Structure 1
Amino acid sequence: MAGATRKLRRGLTAAVTALVLAAAGAPAATATGPAAADTAADQCGGQCGDILPPGENGNATLADILANRALGTHPAHTDDQLPTYAELADDYRSLTDSTINRYFNDSSFGVPAGQVESSTTMQAGGGSVTIVRDKAAGIPHITGTTRAATEYGAGWAAANDRLWLMDLFRHVGRGELSSFAGGAAANRQLEQSFWAAAPYTEADLTQQVRSIASSGPAGQQAMADIDAYLGGVNAYAAKAHSDRDFPGEYDLTGHIDPITNAGGIAPFTPEDLVAIAGVIGALFGSGGGGEVQSALVKEAADARYGTAKGDRVWAAFREENDPEADLTVHDGTSFPYAASPAHPTGVAMPDPGSVTAQQEVFDPTGSAAAGARQLAPAGASAKAPAKLAPLKGVFDKGVLPGDMLTAKHGMSNALVVNGKYTDDGHPIAVFGPQTGYYAPQLLMLEELQGPGLHARGASFAGLSMYVLLGRGPNYAWSATSAGQDVTDTFAVKLCAPDGSATGTPSKDSLYYRQNGDSGPCTKMETLERDDSWKPTLADQTAAGSYKLIVYRTRFGLVQYRATVGGAPVAYTSQRSSYRHEADSIIGFQAFDDPARMATPADFQQSAAEVNFTFNWFYASDRHTAYFNSGGNPVRASGMDPNLPADAAQEWQGWNPDTGASAQEPAATHPHSADQDYYVSWNNKQALGTTAAGFGDGSVHRSNLLDSRVKALVDRVRGGGAAITRAQMVQAMEDAAVTDLRGEDVLPKMLAVIGDPSKVTDPQQAAAVQELTAWQRDGARRVETSAGSRTYADADAIRVMDAWWPLAVEAEFKPGLGDGLYTALTGALQINESPSGGQNGGTGSSDVNESQPHKGSSFQYGWWSYLDKDLRTVLGRPVAGGLGDGYCGGGSPSACRTVLLTTLGQAAAESASQVYPGDSSCKAGDQWCADSIVQRPMGGVTDGTIGWQNRPTYQQAVQFTG
């Protein structure tokens, strides 16, 4: 149940808004039962901390939402971790071990008696469970006398904190978001993207549930845990509805009447959890699949230079195994995977100009003539009770970001150092996932203490039967998205539209040959979802409906249509984790059990059970370890994973009925134990492990972490002071406020320009001086003082933001030509600055940068390309270069002219041009343009914080042992 403080706040909120809202307030709660006692030995010694903004509480009643909108008040624990998180960016340089807990929650097990906010004991699962919430953050600490009771408590707490979000995601996973939460454009965009990536029938979802149950003792235990967990979820939902203490979003979207309480919350099923797992897997645990885009770059390069040189240019920009790439496993061990063979077979290149995207959105009749996002005629607007009028239109922009899946997402980071270099001889880890900034968060915090469950940390809403990322008694673990290539594109030959073997094949046909040229004509399986919506209180979007259709073949989901050698084909996407997202529950189960996490080998064995593409990190009181998980398929000999393949290149052991295939053994995955240190920021895992996309080369944002941690380790090796927990946090945060372009590429740009005194144009000269000073200051984007909302080196930062897109285009487009340059920018955006879509660059490819206020920055961009090209122009050594210099045709003097000309153009742009403003910021407000907005996924909104490139959930741990 919710804590007494939270109930009191809700009661006050209801009283404050009584004149506006004629509805019953939430009843007061009574805390019962003793405070939960820790049942597992805790070896943190006060040296474990975590943080998850904005706050633990993700549920707000209708009264809470109205008060937030009208008065700016917040339910308890809605945003109390946000200031703590934000302030580290201003204060990190003065951080000490004794002050770390000002910026992180104390994540020791249990709750001291004086810090108990509420304690509730319930009978469940053949025993009892006590849920204690702490005063500091309202986190549920769940202790059960039986495992089933513990899981029941986990479900109860999850629904208490994230019921609305859980409901959203089970509908997203089924392509039913609009009918559930309103037909806003963002809702439709999101459900379309997820339906295209992971469409499932109910039978598919049930099959995944059965697969868990048949996975031996661990699978049977997982099903028992799921059943107990769902018991808690559904019991809480029923009680909250009866007590009128449920999330107010159900009122706003018409599922419950705000006056009569008529309506309800549909019970959750195991299939719902599989649907949620499918969403999370598509967001954070997949990789590869860009083979068509890669083919278009190769074709454009061949058209520009001829086949021989064009293929060399394609390979150079592809950087699939760049010798200068930053590596997580840096001890020289090689783990070859997914590289292009010297003599590939079965490559299915599209005919130039023939590629078209597969239509997904149809009109309600399923007509193939309907355009994308075609809607039925508008209906009448919803009529809201007059007293609820302030809430009209709250969800008109959608309840979830429309680009949550389609836009490229920056992910997580990790810094782990071996105990031989630390102050007390125990490893230090500062790590966590970057899941985006939302209100409420996708993740929630919890502590689980029960038989076989001894962990505290974060879990995705609806999947919190286990702590997914966190700590046990003497070990901690976390993950970053790896994104290695587990998705391939196959060219499936099409038959006549009537399915006949003798008719003329058509590019739009729904019939294909199962076995290449000679196989029988088989009809594609149609996966469709009808969705319709009507105006609601909070979403005034006109009524409409449409049909979502995805076609499934033996070789995966149809993504594109094209011709290959004149013959029509469908390009399909085959992902190894599709139809198997729920399988990973076996690995997650093990993380919470100390008996199965005692050694690096135990940890790696558990991580190997996860088929999502993650980099897993482990730090115990004695050891560190790393493992790259994922269902790496065993490909046909000679297949090129970086280009579309014909159907003869089918994965080894492929079973189209189950979606399973042979997979590479765990020993072939990048892994390591007790390396001197590990860093990861979604960079290349190890030698030989091929990058899944373009641009993983000499400059990557992980360099910001690597250089800082390596310097600390080298200091110890040289006889200097040992590393402290505070210094590891400082290394992380210094990287978090540093502009990657300014630290690693700007020095080469300035080197080409040369002596500043020889720059004759006054505007250009001033800009060079400002940029030089900013680089000398560390190329950071930090305030002049805490709370000033004004950057130090503000003019230099403005110039850099404007200069980058101009310089990239002027440096590369003349040499590459329009066609190849456009193809390359389609495969890899040129920039990912903190201000995102507000970047005022006028380069044509700058439209690729389209996500403002998201925090995570500098993962995707042309950093390596400029670095390598400018070093070539300067005559410096370059391993894995791009070939001849592009800037100024390779001439240093001509390149200098290119850079100075574009620098002058950038310097002339005003702050209002560079930062044009949006619904959150006025034009010209540089700090605000960079700022992080907690994107609301419900009715409550939270404050804006300053930019930092940092995980959303983060741990800082060092066990005493």
Structure 2
Amino acid sequence: MKPGLLLSTLLSASLLAACGGGGSSNPAPASNTPTPSNPSTPETPTGPEPRPSNVTAPFADYGTVLNILPPGQDDIGGVANLAADIPGLGDLLSTLFDDLVAETGLVPALSKEPHFDDQLGLYDALVRSEPGLTDDQLGDYFKAAPLLAPDAGNWESELTLDAAGYQVEIKRDNFGVPHIFGDSRRDALFGVGYVTAADRLFLLDVLRRAGRGELSRFLGPADFSFDEDIAVNAPYREEDRTTMIANTIARFGDDGAQVFDDATNYVAGLNQYVADARSGLLQVPVEYVALGVQLEPFVIEDVVAIATLIQGIFAGGGGNEHNNVLLLQALEAQTGSKDIACDLWKDLRHGTDPESSVTTTTSFATQSPPTLPDICPLSGELAGQFPGAVMFDAGSFQSYDPLSHEPCGRPGQPECPEALGNVPALPGTGVVGGLLDTVGDLLGGILSLSFLDDGGQALSQQWANLTRQLPTLWTRKDTLSEQQQQQAMQRIAAIETGIQGLRDGFPSVMSNALLLNAEHSASGQPLAVFGPQTSYFVPQLLLEMAVHGGDINTRGMTFTGLPYVVIGRGPDFAWSATSGSSDLTDVRVVQRCEPADAPAHGEGGYQVNGQCKPFDVIDEQWVARWNLASSTDPEAVGQNEAVTRRVIRTEEYGPVIGFATVSGLPVAVTRQRSTYFAELDTALPFLQASRNDVHDVQSFYDVFHNTTGSFNWFYIDDRDIAYFHSGDYPQRANGIHPELPSWGNGQYDWNGFIPQQAHPQESNPPRGYLASWNNRPARDWWAADAHAPYGSAHRNDILDVRLQQLVEEGSVTRARMVEAMGDAATVDLRGQEIVPAALALLESAPVTGDQDSAIRLMQDWVANGALRRDRDGDGNYDEEAAVALMDAWYPLMIDILLPQITAVEDVDGQNLSLMGRDNKPGAMGSAYNNGYYGYLERVLEQAAGTSASPYRALRCAGSNDLATCRGALANSLNQAIAELGGIASMDSWNVDETQDQIQHRAIGLASVPAIHWQNRPTFQQVVEFTGHR
């Protein structure tokens, strides 16, 4: 297999993880057509034409950039991060691992790396910073991120690689961030690959398997969520990934050749590290030994797989039109009225809500179609006005799950498929009493040290003593105390939990951005605080580096497995992104038929352009083999699972996601995504950004328009700030209703994508700032089909309020911007947006003594910003009682005030609501992106007569009557007070702050302590430029 695919994929994945996908500058629209019977193998292209370097002063730095990326730069995983400086630990582990080391040839890392978690404290400390932050204090919360020359100063470590025809220097600063210096671009990319493997090897392996939808083949039956997700949304054969490489190379011309060249060099760097590790020259993450999995060389198709994974998570939008059909049919059944059902559906949709927060206030009614139809889809007029729209028969839709699994290999169970490429894993270490032996006890004890807290220090000393007594341990069964064995079992269980929840740990949307026009800053230059919000992992999914070589001169973050910096800075500009969630995916309906030459797979075919074409079926099996990442329940230990993936897909309209009937005729329901089978087309913007093709606002627009995924991109230099909303948004055929499924029969196909000028964009906005937190991009830009959060209350309102205040203040510093962001990171959106409306309605009539006390409590909290903040670090929120009341009151508000919505939360066992009730704070950090916040705020304002945009049918407590609404609201407050023990016990109202805390999800054996909840980017830059090239 050729290595050219890797870069394209890496680029694609890198944009996705940080915030986007890409395409060529002006490529022909991708056909996105799988050709499984005739895959293309990419020929090695002619090298790119020589081009002058844009880096005339390669290490020039025209400003001040700070950044942060917790927990830290280093991580090769496992025991290397579990116990530091324990005397004799190396000898002990060598004894434990001798047999498996001999079998795998891999040497596990045994010592904690110096920069494993040294940015975690900086990140966590911001929440406890005192008001009045100054620029010279920012170093307490961020690290400097300059562009440095090779001879710039005191490097903590230096490595020169001279191998396989490459020569590169890798110098690490005092945070372990690699600065890569090559004489040429190819040398630099080789260094990028080597550094990525050095810092994220096991994670790389996890991601390349997850992106193929085969993580269970690698890590066993602990988790099938990634495999299920890929099987539904991005099911590819390996030859499809190879074909995507060829397509991308052909589509980009000379830039395609450069992408291929970059990818080749990047993979060569990855594999140089792998070769060194397999020959015993370098240590590897202990997970390879502990979980019994092999380290294999990388190929470009791996990068395609990673790009697929990230594209699907962060860069999508739309593709849920079938849920609108189900909701409409349920509402009609409940209300008994087509008109009321349609009005309620439109209320719940927030398709074009005029009060929703927007990033640009300029109108962009430029989608296809420009506006949402006002017709009721349940009416008889639908077919006449929208002949391409489909409403399948009520009750007929059945979702299709292409992945299944069942226990195998034991008596009475089916035989397991062949296990490929795995070596025996360690036994159930520290897990099941009957399986615990001395070796297991010892390893379990080592794992119990992983938290490295004060208690761990005592255990470290205890283990040092045990090590010296090693010869006597082999015959003893009581090596560990009961407490230590319990700690070991809990740690092993945490490994299982981390792997099982891996997919859920990825947020579906992410990131925020605050940018201020130059005229409002103290320096007269623009300011920015922005970054991607990609949850929290150990090791982190993101990876920081500075890269210099040939025409590359950049620093920032990439997604693990990608060769380019995808969010970061050049010499005189910086950029970032947030997820866009706009509509680039449509649900199609194809009529089923039986081809004359019936396919052997037995699934039949579908009608398109007057022909009956057979479905393409991917039918694969593998074994998910039990290991330490799997269930530790005694009955599950050693239990393997046989996995079957049976994907049904169409050539034109993507994979099948369900079946239904339309007027009694059988149909298949598919999902057509504009980036499907074109995962690599996002490579170009990162290629261009890496060589500093961006130099002003227009070039920024031109470069990031090439991003195929749905993202909001932000730019800053010493003069301007700018915004661009990217994505391959289809030009839909006449007759399609964009909120409903459409026929996939050849008559209503897309006609390319909307042009660059139709995308929301703005520079130096008149209101003085840009703010984005996964909100509506622009006024009149409609929300994707079943995307409902764009109502009157959105978390971007938190940023709007603070940036408006900064504009009014003027003379804003970088520290003041950081302070505004830090406050926003602890705001409870419900307190900022819903509570004021609720208190106003309650005070519209006399209130009881208890209610009056509660109202005053909440008024004070709202006046102070409605923060969930423990500034003094005592383990209690600063306004604990108000937070406790908010948490108790909110679900009762929903139950009592929104019966029209709660009625669709359980329809024959299915929740048909368009979003969840509450995106509350928790381990992932990101919160308040979607929930019933706007519904509650508006129905309360409607009842009070203050709503500027009343709903059509949604009402407070189902009534138009003010007294009814106020009575229901008072009832909900009384119940909340009672649940907390009454007003008299207000001083004891409390919140379990640990439930809100950020928990870095372990991808492997290592962990870090929990930190205070903050709703902010994972990687974050603070930027102010003072000059320009």
Give the alignment's TM-score, normalised by structure 2. Answer: 0.78
Which shifted more, 812-821 or 618-627?
812-821
User: 1:388 matched to which residue of 2?
Assistant: 443
Contact 1:626–1:673 at 8 Å: present in 2 too? yes
1:855-881 CA-to-partner distances (Å, cap 9, x unmatched) read 110001111111111111001132253
Which shifted more, 391-400 or 548-557?
391-400
User: 2:1019 matched to which residue of 1?
Assistant: 953
User: 2:372 matched to which residue of 1?
Assistant: 340
User: 2:240 matched to which residue of 1?
Assistant: 204
Measure the CA separation in 2 of the matches of 1:650 and 1:405. Answer: 38
User: 1:19 matched to which residue of 2?
Assistant: none
Contact 2:660–2:666 at 8 Å: present in 1 too? yes
Measure the CA separation in 1 of the matches of 2:275 and 2:605. Answer: 48
User: 2:744 matched to which residue of 1?
Assistant: 647
Letter of the aligned partner of 2:837 in structure 1? K
Within the candidate set 474, 481, 491, 2:572 is matched to 474
User: 1:356 matched to which residue of 2?
Assistant: 398
Measure the CA separation in 1 of the matches of 2:249 and 2:407. Answer: 39
The alpha-carbon distance between structure 1 residues 410 and 284, as it changes in their structure 2 partners (threshold 3 A), is closer
Confirm or deny that 1:58 pairs with 2:150: no
Letter of the aligned partner of 2:387 in structure 1? T
1:868-896 CA-to-partner distances (Å, cap 9, x unmatched) read 11111001132253446333612222112
User: 1:727 matched to which residue of 2?
Assistant: 816
Count of matched residue pairs: 856
Measure the CA separation in 1 of the matches of 2:415 and 2:956. Answer: 44
Contact 2:711–2:725 at 8 Å: present in 1 too? yes
The alpha-carbon distance between structure 1 residues 243 and 736, as it changes in their structure 2 partners (threshold 3 A), is same
Secondary structure (helix, strand or coil) at the match of 1:622 reads coil
Confirm or deny that 1:699 pairs with 2:793: yes
Contact 2:885–2:980 at 8 Å: present in 1 too? no
User: 2:171 matched to which residue of 1?
Assistant: 132
User: 1:316 matched to which residue of 2?
Assistant: 347
Confirm or deny that 1:218 pairs with 2:315: no
Secondary structure (helix, strand or coil) at the match of 1:956 reads strand
Confirm or deny that 1:597 pairs with 2:729: no
Letter of the aligned partner of 2:794 in structure 1? H
Which shifted more, 878-887 or 941-950?
878-887
Within the candidate set 528, 533, 542, 1:429 is matched to 528
The alpha-carbon distance between structure 1 residues 57 and 171, as it changes in their structure 2 partners (threshold 3 A), is same
Within the candidate set 837, 848, 854, 1:760 is matched to 848
What is the CA distance between 1:181 and its match in structure 2?
1.5
The alpha-carbon distance between structure 1 residues 248 and 395, as it changes in their structure 2 partners (threshold 3 A), is farther
User: 2:762 matched to which residue of 1?
Assistant: 672
User: 1:158 matched to which residue of 2?
Assistant: 196
The alpha-carbon distance between structure 1 residues 374 and 358, as it changes in their structure 2 partners (threshold 3 A), is farther
The alpha-carbon distance between structure 1 residues 403 and 138, as it changes in their structure 2 partners (threshold 3 A), is closer
The alpha-carbon distance between structure 1 residues 815 and 294, as it changes in their structure 2 partners (threshold 3 A), is closer
The alpha-carbon distance between structure 1 residues 196 and 403, as it changes in their structure 2 partners (threshold 3 A), is farther
Measure the CA separation in 2 of the matches of 1:176 and 1:955. Answer: 35
Secondary structure (helix, strand or coil) at the match of 2:816 reads helix
Letter of the aligned partner of 2:136 in structure 1? S
User: 2:836 matched to which residue of 1?
Assistant: 747
Letter of the aligned partner of 1:777 in structure 2? N
Confirm or deny that 1:563 pairs with 2:661: yes
What is the CA distance between 1:234 and its match in structure 2?
0.6
1:765-799 CA-to-partner distances (Å, cap 9, x unmatched) read 4433322221122211111x432121022121112
Within the candidate set 284, 287, 299, 1:269 is matched to 299
What is the CA distance between 1:422 and its match in structure 2?
1.6
Secondary structure (helix, strand or coil) at the match of 1:207 reads helix
User: 2:474 matched to which residue of 1?
Assistant: none
Secondary structure (helix, strand or coil) at the match of 1:626 reads strand
Letter of the aligned partner of 1:713 in structure 2? V
User: 2:611 matched to which residue of 1?
Assistant: 520
User: 1:483 matched to which residue of 2?
Assistant: 581
Contact 2:75–2:113 at 8 Å: present in 1 too? no
> Unaligned stretches of 5+ in structure 2?
1-54, 90-109, 375-384, 430-438, 448-488, 983-988
Measure the CA separation in 1 of the matches of 2:135 and 2:415. Answer: 58
Letter of the aligned partner of 2:604 in structure 1? Y
RMSD: 3.2
User: 1:894 matched to which residue of 2?
Assistant: 964
1:207-245 CA-to-partner distances (Å, cap 9, x unmatched) read 111123222111111111111111111111221232251
1:802-951 superposed matches below 5 A: 802-813=888-899, 817=903, 826-834=913-921, 852-879=922-949, 881-883=951-953, 885-887=955-957, 889-910=959-980, 926-951=992-1017
Contact 1:884–1:890 at 8 Å: present in 2 too? no
Contact 2:155–2:172 at 8 Å: present in 1 too? yes
Measure the CA separation in 1 of the matches of 2:774 and 2:974. Answer: 34
Contact 1:455–1:470 at 8 Å: present in 2 too? yes
The alpha-carbon distance between structure 1 residues 206 and 364, as it changes in their structure 2 partners (threshold 3 A), is farther
What is the CA distance between 1:514 and its match in structure 2?
2.7
Contact 1:288–1:487 at 8 Å: present in 2 too? yes
Which shifted more, 61-70 or 612-621?
61-70
The alpha-carbon distance between structure 1 residues 92 and 698, as it changes in their structure 2 partners (threshold 3 A), is farther
Which shifted more, 165-174 or 117-126?
117-126
Measure the CA separation in 2 of the matches of 1:354 and 1:314. Answer: 20
Within the candidate set 625, 628, 633, 2:722 is matched to 625
The alpha-carbon distance between structure 1 residues 362 and 854, as it changes in their structure 2 partners (threshold 3 A), is closer
1:910-960 CA-to-partner distances (Å, cap 9, x unmatched) read 599xxxxxxxxxx97621111100010121101100011101011010011
Secondary structure (helix, strand or coil) at the match of 1:292 reads helix
Contact 2:315–2:711 at 8 Å: present in 1 too? yes
1:453-475 CA-to-partner distances (Å, cap 9, x unmatched) read 11100000010x21100000000
Letter of the aligned partner of 1:668 in structure 2? A
User: 1:438 matched to which residue of 2?
Assistant: 537
User: 2:146 matched to which residue of 1?
Assistant: 108
Which shifted more, 943-952 or 520-529?
520-529
Within the candidate set 881, 886, 911, 1:800 is matched to 886
Measure the CA separation in 1 of the matches of 2:875 and 2:754. Answer: 50
Confirm or deny that 1:233 pairs with 2:321: no
Contact 1:363–1:376 at 8 Å: present in 2 too? no
Within the candidate set 159, 165, 173, 1:120 is matched to 159
Measure the CA separation in 2 of the matches of 1:61 and 1:793. Answer: 39
Contact 1:54–1:439 at 8 Å: present in 2 too? yes
Within the candidate set 532, 548, 554, 1:449 is matched to 548
1:544-581 CA-to-partner distances (Å, cap 9, x unmatched) read 21202221113211112222222222111111111111
Measure the CA separation in 1 of the matches of 2:158 and 2:539. Answer: 23
Give the alignment's TM-score, normalised by structure 1. Answer: 0.84
What is the CA distance between 1:94 and its match in structure 2?
2.9
1:301-336 CA-to-partner distances (Å, cap 9, x unmatched) read 333152223222211221111111111111445434
Secondary structure (helix, strand or coil) at the match of 1:122 reads strand
User: 1:663 matched to which residue of 2?
Assistant: 753
Secondary structure (helix, strand or coil) at the match of 2:192 reads helix
Confirm or deny that 1:299 pairs with 2:329: yes
Letter of the aligned partner of 2:827 in structure 1? T
Identical positions, percent: 33
User: 2:780 matched to which residue of 1?
Assistant: 688
User: 1:634 matched to which residue of 2?
Assistant: 731
Secondary structure (helix, strand or coil) at the match of 1:958 reads strand
Contact 1:437–1:952 at 8 Å: present in 2 too? yes
Secondary structure (helix, strand or coil) at the match of 2:590 reads strand
Measure the CA separation in 2 of the matches of 1:600 and 1:483. Answer: 23
Which shifted more, 62-71 or 767-776?
62-71
Measure the CA separation in 1 of the matches of 2:183 and 2:902. Answer: 67
What is the CA distance between 1:603 and its match in structure 2?
1.0
Secondary structure (helix, strand or coil) at the match of 1:397 reads helix
Highest RCO, 1 vs 2 (Cα 8 Å, sep ≥ 6): 2
Confirm or deny that 1:548 pairs with 2:645: yes
What is the CA distance between 1:39 and its match in structure 2?
5.9
The alpha-carbon distance between structure 1 residues 797 and 351, as it changes in their structure 2 partners (threshold 3 A), is same
What is the CA distance between 1:673 and its match in structure 2?
2.1
Secondary structure (helix, strand or coil) at the match of 2:949 reads coil
